[in-house]
Amino acid sequence: MSKSLARVTAALADAGLQITPFEMGDCRTAQAAADAAGCALDQIVKSILFAGAESGRLYLFLTAGGNQVDAAKASALAGEVLGRADAKQVRDVTGFAIGGVSPVGHLTPSPQFFDPHLLDFPVIWGAAGTPRHIFPIAPQDLLRITGATQAAFTA
């Protein structure tokens, strides 16, 4: 088991959840992950990271697979102009490579925002630390264990 996958599994267990990640092969898009999981595109949790233009701090936006983060709305929530975080910064802060960024198990916590549309489903699927693994979770559980703030930030 990779260190990233082990960290996600431990974070879920530490939160009192007995969840086993699912290996699906190399899926680098939300649609590919949805196809592998046999679920709707919007049941895939995309972990989108933006960097603050002034602070350099990362902000994590957990959004439904078919939604796009609106940069102006995201910046308003963060209180500073945001731009996409680069791959090195994502790995340094979260411990995950782009394509496998999990909503849980980050090396360094970042402010998190949660797309309310994810609450429309009984089960959603998040990346489990690698581009090949996802895990099922009730959206209310993910909201609880991440401490994310529900907010309208999609286009």
Which domains occur in the chain, in start order?
3-150 (3.90.960.10)
Predicted local distance difference test score (pLDDT) of residue 32:
92
| Sign (positive or negative) of CA dihedral 102, 123, 135, 30 | negative
Q: Output b/e per residue, 8-24; b: 16+ Cβ within 10 A.
A: bbebbeeeebebebeeb
Residue 27, pLDDT score: 79
| Average pLDDT of the chain to the nearest whole number | 95
pLDDT of the residue at 148: 98
- Residue ranges of the chain with pLDDT lower than 50? none
Please state the pTM of the whole predicted model.
0.95
pLDDT for the residue numbered 61: 98
Q: What is the reported pLDDT for 71? A: 95
pLDDT at residue 38 in the model? 95
Helix (H, G, I), strand (E, B) or coil at 149: strand
Rounded Cα distance between 58 and 53, Å, is 10
